[in-house]
Structure formats: C-alpha cells, structure tokens
Amino acid sequence: MADPAPLPPSMPPSPPPKSATTFDRITSQSKWYGDKSQKNRTVYVRLKSAQLILAAAIPVVSVAAASNPQRWTSAGLGALIGIVEGFLQLGQYQQNWLLYRATREALKREEFLYSAGAGPYASVDNKDGLYIERCDAIMSGENSKWLATQQQAASEKKS
C-alpha cells in the first residue's frame, strides 16, 4: 500500500485586520473601565459602611458601660474610623469609581453612535477611523483626569 501524499505545511493563521485588533482593544478597554468602576464602587461602599457602623457604635458603647474599659473601647472605635477614612483617601475609591463609570458610559455611547451610524458617524467616509479617534480621545481624557486626581490627593496629604 502506497503512502498517502504528504499534507501541505499548515499555513499560520492570517492576522486579523488592523482595524479588528484596534476594535478589540477598544472593547477590552471599555470592559476594563466597567470592571474597575464596579470594583472601586464595592470597596468604597464597604469601607464607608464600616466607617458609619463604627461611628454609630461610639455613643452606644459610651452609654452601655460607664466603666474604665468603655473609654478604651470608644477610643479604639474612634481610631478605627480614622483608619478607614485613611484607606478611603489613600485608595481614592469614590473618585476612581465615578471617573471609570463616566468613561465606560462615554465609550458605550460612542459604540452606540458608531453602530447606528448616527451623530458624527452619519456623514463621514471613514467611520472606523473616526470611531477609533473619538474612543482614544475619551480614554486619553480619562487618563488626564485620573492623573490630576492622584496629584491633588498627594498634595492634600502633604498639607
């Protein structure tokens, strides 16, 4: 029995068109903003909730026991409130949450306009190029705002 004809060497998969790669990047960035927004919101809400519970516990502890250990408990709760506030300021969770959410929503709106061929996409020849430029401007603007927020927080800590 004769050997079957050898198979031709497999061709490497052709790379996706340049625009597809760019669109994938924009889509993944948009998802990243959504995920980071949700994470920062969750951390902010949890820390703020802990802070509120600790603050509410101070008067309860003060009234519950008039003994010497009560003083230390109240002092400890007050210290924990300060620590939680420090973590909130250090992480900038609320500011990041709002900034990331605004960026995600702007990117979603841009995707909607592009998909519908509406707004600035209604009368241009190169819709793909315009979409990429506008999404890049949104993400670049977010980066600038984030940097400004971080610099402001650092300068407030020094004061």
Rg, the chain, Cα only: 27
Provide CB contacts within 8 A for 140, sequence distance 6+. none
Residue-range domain boundaries for the chain: 31-158
> Each residue of 97-138: pLDDT tens digit?
999 999 999 999 999 999 888 999 999 998 888 998 899 888
- At residue 109, the pLDDT reads 93
Phi, then psi, of 66 in degrees rounded to 5: -100, 20
Instruction: Yes or no: say if 35 and 102 are a contact pair by the CB < 8 Å rule.
Output: no
Q: Which regions of the chain are under pLDDT 70?
A: 1-20, 63-70, 150, 153-154, 156-159
Provide CB contacts within 8 A for 141, sequence distance 6+. 103
Q: Which of 23, 46, 43, 135 is nearest to 95 (CA)?
A: 43
Instruction: Yes or no: say if 88 and 145 are a contact pair by the CB < 8 Å rule.
Output: no
